[in-house]
Amino acid sequence: MAQAQKITPRAKDFSEWYNDVVMQAELADYSPVRGCMVIRPHGYRLWELMQQALDEMFKATGHQNAYFPLFIPMSFLAKEAEHVEGFAKEVALVTHTRLKATGKAGAQAVMPDPESALEEPLVVRPTSETIIYAMFAKWIQSYRDLPLLMNQWCNIVRWEFRTRLFLRTTEFLWQEGHTAHATEAEAEAEARQMLGVYRKFQEQWMAMPVLTGRKTESEKFAGALRTYALEALMQDNKALQAGTSHNLGQNFAKAFNVQYQTAAGGLEYVWNTSWGVSTRMIGGLVMTHSDDNGLVCPPKLAPVQVVIVPIWKSEEEKSQVLGVGGKVKEELARAGVRVELDARDSLKPGAKYFEWEAKGVPLRLEIGPRDVAAGQVMTARRTGGKAPAKLDGLGAAVRKTLDEIQATLFQAAKDRRETHSIRGVTKQQFLEFMKGVGGFAYGGFCGSPECEAEVKQQTGATVRVLPDPEFRSAEAPKTCLWCGKPSVAEAVWAQAY
Ligand SMILES: [Zn+2]
């Protein structure tokens, strides 16, 4: 990056700001394929760090990784009625297996060979329930084979015409967990457990506070009995669904004939769950923490946690500060810190600061000749604040600072969310809130899909979740905030990505 461009301020245009942050942090770029993005190395490293942390949590809860085909026979999707309806409008189909030369020039030089048309088209997976449960039917015979706990890391295709980097793209990366259980209670416990795993990851690693709860019937996953979700509030006060966990009941087991012999000798259908999070979380991380100078990345997931910028004028100073810088780098790496030493000759320190700030590096260490003489470095936090730190014991001090930054980011995001949440709203307050700055509105809900549809049409807001007990208001609302009929559950409404 030769000349850094300016980032559009959040207050001017949030959507432009978001794009500028993603592009200048070199997380991703647009591709020649409409609807598809390229994840650049800095963004991919962030994804790898997310994967590593999640993968450990999945394994610690007894899940194993496997890999299933990218292609799914079209008839598989049709086996579960709600499921096919939910995904029909966004699938990519493979209909031919080869091309044929036409003898024409340019773009018309080849065409699909009509003779290679597939008898049954293949769907490029929009999610893998169908192909996975077809295999589960083969592998599960008896109660001894249960529970079956699997996960796959893969790519997914859901057709989109508009690209929003990390938030909405035709192809994206994710993980999908799929499990089979002997009882409904076990499946329910699994779906809840994985929601908890996601919450722990999003709060402790991404420093992104989330509300958890159940989706309404109209917002649940196509084919699920119950869907649970995690919802985070972005800086523009729109909600981002950060992950989902489904209790699929026996719907797919019946469609794919996944049965097991019980201990008593009877035959029963299994109970399934599926759960997933995707590269969309990177968009959530960006919109939770970043500022007008670029990406702000929580230290636990920062591809580079510390950058050392040596400052010199003379050659003598250069060898001195680079020498100390090299030693500091070694010490920090030994302490388990992801660290870079920016020794480039071609850039002035100020330009380097600018670049690493845009990339979201949580902590910068500046080392000038005077610092060397004093046996110290100057530390500068990405989120503001400069202080000298002694070279002696620097590894431990840096680790402590990174932990502090992590905790501060989480608290700030949580405070922001609570500032933009209102409870016990009347219809009038709700309308004003959604027309104004917006945020999470807690209110009574009668449970009717008609109310949901009307609210969506008039305010753009949807029920994000029927919140879990810890998020509910002290006093349960008595009436639906929209129609005034008795409330069956408190709901959290927001406009969403
Ligand atoms: Zn209502």
What spacing in Å lies between the alpha carbon of 441 and ligand 1's midpoint? 15
Q: Which of 16, 39, 20, 23 is nearest to 278 (CA)?
A: 39
What spacing in Å lies between the alpha carbon of 457 and ligand 1's midpoint? 14
Cα–Cα distances (Å) from 103 to 100, 107, 109, 158, 446, in that order, read 9, 11, 6, 34, 64
Structure-derived torsion over alpha carbons of residues 77, 79, 80, 84, reported in degrees to the nearest 10: 30
What spacing in Å lies between the alpha carbon of 228 and ligand 1's midpoint? 21
Q: What is the pLDDT of residue 88?
A: 83
Backbone phi, then psi, for 458, in 5-degree steps? -90, -25
What spacing in Å lies between the alpha carbon of 445 and ligand 1's midpoint? 6
Cα–Cα distances (Å) from 297 to 22, 115, 332, 459, in that order, read 12, 52, 19, 32
What spacing in Å lies between the alpha carbon of 461 and ligand 1's midpoint? 14
What spacing in Å lies between the alpha carbon of 61 and ligand 1's midpoint? 39
What spacing in Å lies between the alpha carbon of 454 and ligand 1's midpoint? 9
Cα–Cα distances (Å) from 156 to 74, 133, 280, 331, in that order, read 16, 17, 12, 41
8 Å CB contact between 489 and 466: yes
**Residue 403: Cβ within 10 Å count:** 12
Residue 245 makes CB contacts below 8 A (sequence gap 6+) with 191, 192, 194, 195, 198, 227, 228, 229, 273, 274, 275
What spacing in Å lies between the alpha carbon of 456 and ligand 1's midpoint? 12
What spacing in Å lies between the alpha carbon of 210 and ligand 1's midpoint? 25
What spacing in Å lies between the alpha carbon of 430 and ligand 1's midpoint? 13
Three-state DSSP class for residue 144: helix
| DSSP result, 56-68 | HHHHHTT-EE---
What spacing in Å lies between the alpha carbon of 420 and ligand 1's midpoint? 23
What spacing in Å lies between the alpha carbon of 29 and ligand 1's midpoint? 43
8 Å CB contact between 43 and 26: yes
What spacing in Å lies between the alpha carbon of 481 and ligand 1's midpoint? 7
What spacing in Å lies between the alpha carbon of 484 and ligand 1's midpoint? 6
The residue whose two tokens read 């409404």 is 493
Q: Which of 484, 477, 413 is nearest to 442 (CA)?
A: 477
What spacing in Å lies between the alpha carbon of 1 and ligand 1's midpoint? 54
Three-state DSSP class for residue 426: coil
CA distance linking residue 488 with residue 479, whole number of Å: 8
Q: Give CA angle at 115 (112, 116), nearest 5°.
A: 65
What spacing in Å lies between the alpha carbon of 472 and ligand 1's midpoint? 18
CA distance linking residue 151 with residue 411, whole number of Å: 32
What spacing in Å lies between the alpha carbon of 414 and ligand 1's midpoint? 29
CA distance linking residue 233 with residue 382, whole number of Å: 22
DSSP code of 378?
A: E
Q: What is the pLDDT of residue 1?
A: 42
The residue whose two tokens read 């069956």 is 488
Residues linked to residue 387 through DSSP beta bridges, in sequence order: 379
What spacing in Å lies between the alpha carbon of 452 and ligand 1's midpoint? 8
The residue whose two tokens read 């209102």 is 422
Q: Which of 167, 214, 204 is nearest to 57 (CA)?
A: 204
What spacing in Å lies between the alpha carbon of 485 and ligand 1's midpoint? 6
CA distance linking residue 380 with residue 271, whole number of Å: 52
Q: What is the pLDDT of residue 221?
A: 85
What spacing in Å lies between the alpha carbon of 226 and ligand 1's midpoint? 21
pTM, full prediction: 0.95
8 Å CB contact between 395 and 365: no
Residues linked to residue 389 through DSSP beta bridges, in sequence order: 377
What spacing in Å lies between the alpha carbon of 297 and ligand 1's midpoint? 40
Residue 475 makes CB contacts below 8 A (sequence gap 6+) with 424
DSSP code of 257?
A: T
**Consecutive 10-residue averages of pLDDT for the chain (497 residues):** 72 97 97 94 98 98 98 90 82 95 91 95 95 97 98 96 92 98 98 98 98 94 92 98 97 96 96 98 98 98 98 96 97 97 96 97 98 97 96 96 98 98 94 96 96 96 97 95 96 97
What spacing in Å lies between the alpha carbon of 243 and ligand 1's midpoint? 27
Q: Which of 203, 209, 217, 266 is nearest to 239 (CA)?
A: 209
Residues linked to residue 367 through DSSP beta bridges, in sequence order: 310
Residue 238 makes CB contacts below 8 A (sequence gap 6+) with 438, 494, 495, 496, 497
Give how far the C-alpha of residue 488 lies from the chain's centroid of Cα atoms, to the nearest Å.
31
What spacing in Å lies between the alpha carbon of 4 and ligand 1's midpoint? 51
Q: Which of 305, 408, 308, 296 is nearest to 360 (CA)?
A: 296
Q: What is the pLDDT of residue 4?
A: 54
What spacing in Å lies between the alpha carbon of 98 and ligand 1's midpoint? 54
What spacing in Å lies between the alpha carbon of 455 and ligand 1's midpoint? 9
CA distance linking residue 270 with residue 256, whole number of Å: 11
What spacing in Å lies between the alpha carbon of 335 and ligand 1's midpoint? 56
What spacing in Å lies between the alpha carbon of 191 and ligand 1's midpoint? 28
What spacing in Å lies between the alpha carbon of 443 and ligand 1's midpoint? 10
